[in-house]
Amino acid sequence: MSKKQVVKTRTNKKLELERKRDEKAARRALAKERKNRSQGGAEDEEFVSFANQLLAMGLKLREVPGDGNCLFRALGDQLEGNSRNHLKHRRETVDFMIKHRQDFEPFVEDDVPFDRYVTNLEKPGTFVGNDVIVAFARNNQVNIVIHQLNAPLWQVFGTRKSNAAELHIAYRYGEHYDSVRKVNDNSEASANLKTEDTDVIVQNLEFENYNIETAIVATLQIGDLKNSNSIEDSNKNCSNCSPPHMSSLWIENGSGNRIFGNQGLNPEEIENNRTFSQKEENKRNKNKVTSKQRKEQIRIEKKKRQEERHRQKVLDSRSNNLEELTTDGNLQPPVTLVKTFATLNI
């Protein structure tokens, strides 16, 4: 073994020893935090409330110790499935800030010189601010989503690419970050979460005067419309295909008409819509159902949708072993969509 290889081996062993010491200290710190929380009142209530808020979205907290490295630990867990490389992420983020000094120097507070500021940031255990989150996002070309208790999500954009990875972290107690994971995700793999646009749901609630039952029906109709687009495109030359204005979605007061407009229909088609609307109204008047019957119908529809989602999850889990291979042959884990009604973007 050459002298250079010997030095490299010794360096690697030293780094590995430091990493193990760091992880032992982190585990002790996390155990101490949990013990203190179990004995305290306010913090425990905050933790339970936050956990319930995430649970409603199918998510959970993966805690990291509050040792001053929590942000880099949480982001590392999102990227790599563990928090062991937090020192590397800190160093790379500070290097990015130094290289792009003109973007970050104006935001340094308390008249601290920039060189001294970044020197302190590079030290393990130093708490960091929002500027570091922006630098991390840009350096890694990812978008960071920050969950807070009873508040909209914060989205920090490091890139505007449509296929960019999202890293979900939770900001708690006004000073601490944890990683956010899917409920049953106990793996050491990247989290692969993705926020899902729910604007259509909000629009439907507004159109239906916040009547939840009718808003559900309208949302399902829009979903059916999107699913049928591909079939309609493939059969657009078929003589037996029904024209779009014959669908109840496009009647004069239909959900599709209200959300998307007349979609460029000519006067004759609009008149046909009105005629069809009158027929539909007459049909509804003949087949009016009681509130109890309507609730029962919605319950049955909800049960069918749950069964279909369960069936789809089973199919997806089977297909995941065969699909989405990366270029180096490793399996790409599936992305979990996270529904949200309100976000604030940086």
Active site residues: 67, 70, 176
The first and second tokens of residue 304, run together, are: 């069918």
Q: How far apart are alpha carbons 237 and 233 in whole angstroms?
A: 9
Looking up tokens 């239906």 gives: 208
Contact 83, 167 (CB under 8 A): no
For the chain, state the CA radius of gyration.
27
Q: What tokens appear for 189 in the block? A: 């793999």
The Cα 305–Cα 297 span in angstroms is 12
Q: Are 339 and 198 in contact (CB under 8 A)?
A: yes
Q: Is 240 exposed, middle or buried (0-12, 13-18, 19+ CB in 10 A)?
A: exposed
Residue 62: enclosing H or E segment and its boundaries? strand 59-62
Q: Does residue 335 contact residue 163 with C-beta atoms inside 8 Å?
A: no
Coil, helix or strand at residue 58 = coil
Distance CA 184, CA 134 (A): 29
In this structure, the number of other CB atoms found within 10 A of the CB of residue 208 comes to 18
Q: Which two tokens stand for residue 33?
A: 């935090």
User: Rounded to whole angstroms, how far apart are CA atoms 308 and 87?
Assistant: 45
Q: State how far the Cα of 62 lies from the Cα of 186, in Å rounded to an integer.
A: 9
DSSP 103-159: HHGGG--TT--HHHHHHHHTSTT----HHHHHHHHHHHT-EEEEE-TTSPEEEEES-
Distance between CA atoms of residues 4 and 1, nearest Å = 8
